[in-house]
Structure 1
Amino acid sequence: MPEPDPAEAAAHHGYDLGGHSARQVDRDLMRWADTILAMDVTNLTALHELADEHTVGRLALYLGDRDVPDPFGQPGNAFHDCIEMIVAGSARRLQRPDG
């Protein structure tokens, strides 16, 4: 059975990942960002190790109290479940311009 395709799963939910590319987080990128969200505690810990006194306060776990599970290597539904979890979690992170 072929590995599930994250781009196909995203497209199924109405998201186009065509313009997305990975980038290694560095201190300059951290200084640029207003908020730095990690999907899991392991990545949050790594970001804390890279952070300085100016950026450490910008770090948070995306869902606040739990990890977004990594869907790689999991069955195809894991990508769909992950997308739904990320979308549901976005409400706590995004503010509407009108308040």
Structure 2
Amino acid sequence: MSYRICVVCLGNICRSPMAEVVLRKTLADHGLGDAVSVDSAGTGGWHQGNPMDERAAAMLAENGYDGSSHRARQFLADWFGRVDLVLAMDGENLRALHRLAPTGADVRLFRSFDPAAPLDAEVPDPYYGGREGFADVLEMVRAASDGLAKHLSEKLLPP
């Protein structure tokens, strides 16, 4: 059975799907593709069924990633029984997830795995901004994904 991660933002059309796509590739590059599954969702459900924001998908595509198959979903409390680690993009979503989480659930900020960022660092929502915001999100996601892959390599791969 694989280790299961869900990355969560507000609407599941910008930050969390970008993180899902990047993290999945980063884990595969670290030899963890078969050991870890990655999914994403939003704490809100108003975008359910919609594809990724066009600007997020374009930023991914420009950098060699494919987010075309993404469809937004809402994170529900019963998902905690199916995932090992839930990663929130910001404090607002972290608090929403903690309200849903059973005791002992592993819920953290996504950027807490970036060794160069403070433990409480957030991935800001680029939705109301321009291209630069999506580029910034991609760089933050890459750094945290690399840190998480290293963490999981130590945790899940034999020495």
SS in 2 for 1:20: coil
Shift of 1:52: 1.1
Task: Give 2:96's match in structure 1, choosing from 40, 43, 46.
Answer: 46
* Corresponding letter in the other structure for 1:26: L
Show the counterpart of 2:139. 84
Matched, 1:12 2:62: yes
- Name the CA distance, whole Å, in 2 between partners of 1:84 and 1:6: 12
- Name the CA distance, whole Å, in 1 between partners of 2:110 and 2:56: 19
- Name the CA distance, whole Å, in 2 between partners of 1:38 and 1:87: 15
Show the counterpart of 1:67. 122
Task: Give 1:30's match in structure 2, choosing from 76, 80, 93.
Answer: 80
Relative to the length of structure 1, the TM-score reads 0.85
C-alpha contact 1:31 1:54 (8 A) present in aligned 2: no
Larger radius of gyration: 1
Where in structure 1 are there 5+ consecutive unaligned residues?
none
Where in structure 2 are there 5+ consecutive unaligned residues?
1-53, 113-118
1:38-60 deviation per Cα after TM superposition (whole angstroms, max 9, x unaligned): 000000000000111242xx100
C-alpha contact 2:80 2:102 (8 A) present in aligned 1: no
* Corresponding letter in the other structure for 2:103: E
- Name the CA distance, whole Å, in 2 between partners of 1:18 and 1:45: 29
Aligned-pair identity (%)? 35
* Corresponding letter in the other structure for 1:90: S
Relative to the length of structure 2, the TM-score reads 0.55
Shift of 1:19: 1.4
Aligned residues: 95
Shift of 1:63: 0.9
Which stretches of structure 1, 4 residues or longer, exceed 4 Å deviation after superposition?
none
